[in-house]
Amino acid sequence: MATKTAEGAGSETGAQHDETVAETAVTEEAQAPERREPGEETAAAEPRHASGVGQGAGAVVSAALGLVSLNGGWVGTVASARAQLMGQLKTSSQAGVAQQIKAVYGDAWHATALWAGLFAVAALIVGVAVLARPAFGAPGRPQAPWIKSVAWGGVALGVVGLLLAALKYSDALLGLPSAG
């Protein structure tokens, strides 16, 4: 029995010892400064560079605005319908055919062209801003090729959209039919 008591006492002492060691380890970890691997220290010391997500998003927005400038978009359609309705309301039934055509269809056509031109200008501004951004950012960091390509696409679509809008607004492209 004496050996059992010694074993029992020894296991209690061992459990207390393990518990004391665990408490000491937890206390040391809490008081010790944060430990890093050698590679982590150099990575943390370097400044972080932007990933180019904003420039990529700007390039895509420029291309999307360029596409909207070509097809008129929802805003252009609503503006056209509004101008057409206003023309119908303002024109009396005694007005001449030429005046009715201009008020009902011509103003609507010009409203569509105006909104297409505004979207084209927005596409140009955003595309040029994305292309000019590296000149004002980190000097040694080149812009990703896909960002340049999409931004140039947005600029090109903006130029074509602006040209078409100007031609539509001036009635050089698909002008109103003559009444007489």
pLDDT (0 to 100) of residue 30: 52
Average pLDDT over residues 27-46: 53
Two tokens, residue 148: 């340049």
| pTM for the structure as a whole | 0.64
User: Sorting pLDDT into bands at 50, 70 and 90, what band is 43?
Assistant: very low
Q: What pLDDT is stored for residue 25 in this prediction?
A: 54
Least confidently predicted of 94-98, 125-129, 157-161 = 94-98
Does residue 121 have a pLDDT over 90?
Answer: yes
Tens digit of pLDDT for each residue in 97-115?
777 777 778 888 888 889 9
pLDDT, average across residues 12-18 = 59
Task: Flag whether pLDDT at 9 surpasses 60.
Answer: no
**pLDDT for residue 171:** 80
Q: Long-range contacts made by residues 75-84, C-beta under 8 angstroms, separation at least 24?
A: 75/115, 76/111, 76/112, 76/115, 76/116, 76/119, 77/112, 79/111, 79/112, 79/114, 79/115, 80/108, 80/109, 80/111, 80/112, 81/108, 82/111, 83/107, 83/108, 83/110, 83/111, 84/108
